[in-house]
Structures are given as structure tokens and as C-alpha cells.
Amino acid sequence: MTRDGVPRRPLVALVAHDIHDDGGMERAFAELIRHAHADVDFVVFAATLAEDLRPYVKWRPVHVPRRPFPVKLVTFMILAGLRVRRSNVDLVHTLGAILPRRVDLVSVHFCQEAFRHVRSTQNEQGRSRLRGLNAAVSFWLAWCIERWYWRSDRVRAMAAVSVGTAREVARYYPGIPVHVTPNGVDLERFVPDDSARRTLRHEERLVDEDVVAIFVGGRWEDKGLPLVFDSLCTASAKLPVRRLHLWVVGRGDEALYGRLAARLAIASRVRFFGFRSDVERFLQAADVFVFPSSYETFSLVAHEAAACGLPVIATPVNGIDELVLPGETGYLVPADAAALAEALAHLARTPSLRKAMGQRARERVGTMTWQRSAASVVDIYRSLLAPTTRTDSDLRK
């Protein structure tokens, strides 16, 4: 990394559909730029880039249609592939399988092949026919590209966001070195806040005895929201009338799920808030985070909920299985409404346990900063640029 004997910073092409703070994988690249731009020169190839990040990088916009996703995916591959090919950089780092060329590092925030193995058991309740068709086509296309793209002759190394994801990648795509680069948490933004709690609960006309379970995310059917609805019915039967409430934060088909809530007679206790940029306010005002997702690679929102002092009730998927210590920071449950309801009712009945678990959950994520996450990626850059680079799979914990 020298030019005429003068040390210089590595020049890295960072390639992603979108880089901003409104999604888990998009946030990871945004935080990488924020925390590593002093050590790395980034050239960003993306359709969108958060405005506050633009002074830190050279942005080469890739103009593509936003939807439908299959069109966006193919168009981006073609246009970004041509632009990156003309660039003169030290390394090419992509977010997933999105370039039709050899790259140096791929960040893995979703493994289509691993997800394929859970699709057959996935709950389809709450998915409209049109949305189901779009999801099926999008998955099939992304899966085909991933299978074609993730080969040792096309990818030098992979960066998985959890130990479980690293194991999946090593299993389905052997021969490619795999590193673990966990996401971070903004521990100053996601923090318990009694004032925010009182304010929002007052706005929602809740009393101290009311218990709020919160679900945050998109792709509601994949994340298990129908299961949460079913468990709310069962758990509520074990508690005083109207004591248990559910807040749903994120984009989804509110009309469809509203009808589902009405059929289950829980509509009066379910509130849809849509996508929120101030999601921390809702986490701070809630009592329990519930997330029976069918598949995750890390689950940033579960870690953010823990940082806000919430116990976590979730399925034992990647990332969450490392976060939740059963009985200490929450409960790991099967994708079963009865098991979920039992855990939910137990925590609803015992405020002292909720508080103790929430404090322990906050401690659990106390070292998981974005600075640490970015540093782990920069370490891979250095290893790839070193004269001798290890080639064995590295599943570091």
C-alpha cells in the first residue's frame, strides 16, 4: 500500500444497492463509512447514499428503478458492474451477490441458500397473493445469482455478521475464506429512557399496569408476526382484560394484518405505527421485545431492543442465539404460538423479572459498538492487501 515509497490509505470500492440508516444491512455499510473513512478511501457505487455520508466518500450513483425488486437487482448488476470495471481501486467490497465479476470481499447479511431451507416450513398466513408472487420471484432470482456468484474463483473472502451465518456460508459455499464481522449498536441512541417511556405511553393512554410487547421489522410474514398475533390471544387469556398490548413498528400490509387482528379479536390491543426513524422511542416505551423470525443473520433490531433494556423473546436464529441467554436476557422459543404465549404471559406477570432481564440484556450488548464492527472489516482489508494472505476459513468468535 505504497506509492513511490509514500504510504497511502487503501482505496476500496464499496458496492451496495442503498447505504443509509433505514435498514439493517444498509446501516452496516453506513456505519462502516462513518467509522473507517479516516483509514480507508472509499469510492461508493450505490443507487442511494445518505446525505451525511457524502463528504466522506467519492460517490458514483448507479441509477436504477426502485421497484419491482427483480428489475432493480438485474439493472444494478449490469450498470454497477460496468462502472466498477472502469475504476482503479485496491479492493472491491460488495453487500451480497450484486456484481457479475470477481470481487475481494462480500459482506453476508442474508444467505439465500440457507433461507431456502426454512421457506418450506414458513407460515404463509398474512401474505397476500400478489405480495407472495413478488416475494417468490425475488427470492428465486436472488438465489440463482447467489449460487452462480459465490464461488472461490469469484470471491476472495466473505464477511459474515454472526458465527451462525459464517457456518452457513462455509457449509453451502465451501472453499471461500469466511470471517465474522458482527454489526454494532449505537449505545448512545438506544438506551433506556424513563422520560421517553412516560411521554409515549401517556400519548397512547396506557397506565402503569399495561404491558407492551413490541415487534419491529418489515417482511412481517417472514419475521413471524402472524405467530405473534396468535400468541397474543393465548397470553391475554391468562392476564387481566386489556393488560397486554402489541405495538408493530415497520412497513407491512396494515390492512391485511388489521383484518387478521379483527378475526382474532385483538384489534383493540394492536397498534400499527408504520416505519419510524425514531424507533428508539418505541423500544424505550415498551416492556418486551418479541420476534419469532424464521430466519436471521444477526437481527440488528433485537440487539437495539436489548440496548434499550428490553428482554427478548425470539426464535433461536442466527445472532439472536448469541444474544439471548435463556432465563437471563430473555427466552428462546420454538416457532410455536403456545410456547411464545407462555413466555410472554410469564414476563407480563412479573415486572421485576422484566427489569432484571432488561438490565442484563443491556450489559450483554455493551461492547458491541459500530467502531468495533468497522475495525473488524478494516482488518480484513489489511489482510487481503498483505503480501501473504491466509486462505483457510476463519470462523472467529
Express each pLDDT in 230-241 by its tens digit: 999 999 888 875
Domain region containing 88:
2-184+369-385
Shared domain for 16 and 141, answered yes or no, is yes
Shared domain for 118 and 210, answered yes or no, is no
pLDDT at 375: 98
Neighbouring CB atoms inside 10 A of 132's CB total 12
**The whole model's pTM is what?**
0.91
pLDDT at 387: 78
Shared domain for 19 and 53, answered yes or no, is yes
pLDDT tens per residue across all 397 residues of the chain: 455 555 679 999 999 999 999 888 999 999 999 999 999 999 999 999 999 999 999 999 999 998 888 999 999 999 999 999 999 999 999 999 999 989 999 999 999 999 998 875 554 555 556 566 667 888 899 999 999 999 999 999 999 999 999 999 999 999 999 999 999 999 999 999 999 999 999 999 999 999 999 999 999 999 999 999 999 999 988 887 568 999 999 999 999 999 999 999 999 999 999 999 999 999 999 999 999 999 999 999 999 999 999 999 999 999 999 999 999 999 999 999 999 999 999 999 999 999 999 999 999 999 999 999 999 999 999 999 997 544 444 444 4
Residue 391 lies in a domain: no
- Kindly list the strands in the beta sheet with 244-249, ordered across the sheet, starting from the edge strand earlier in the chain: 270-274, 244-249, 211-216, 288-291, 312-314, 330-332
Residue 65 lies in a domain: yes
Number of Cα atoms under 13 Å in the Cβ half of residue 77: 17
CATH at 57:
3.40.50.2000
The total number of structural domains that make up the chain: 2
pLDDT at 68: 87
pLDDT at 4: 54
109 with 97: CB under 8 angstroms? no
Shared domain for 287 and 355, answered yes or no, is yes
Shared domain for 256 and 157, answered yes or no, is no
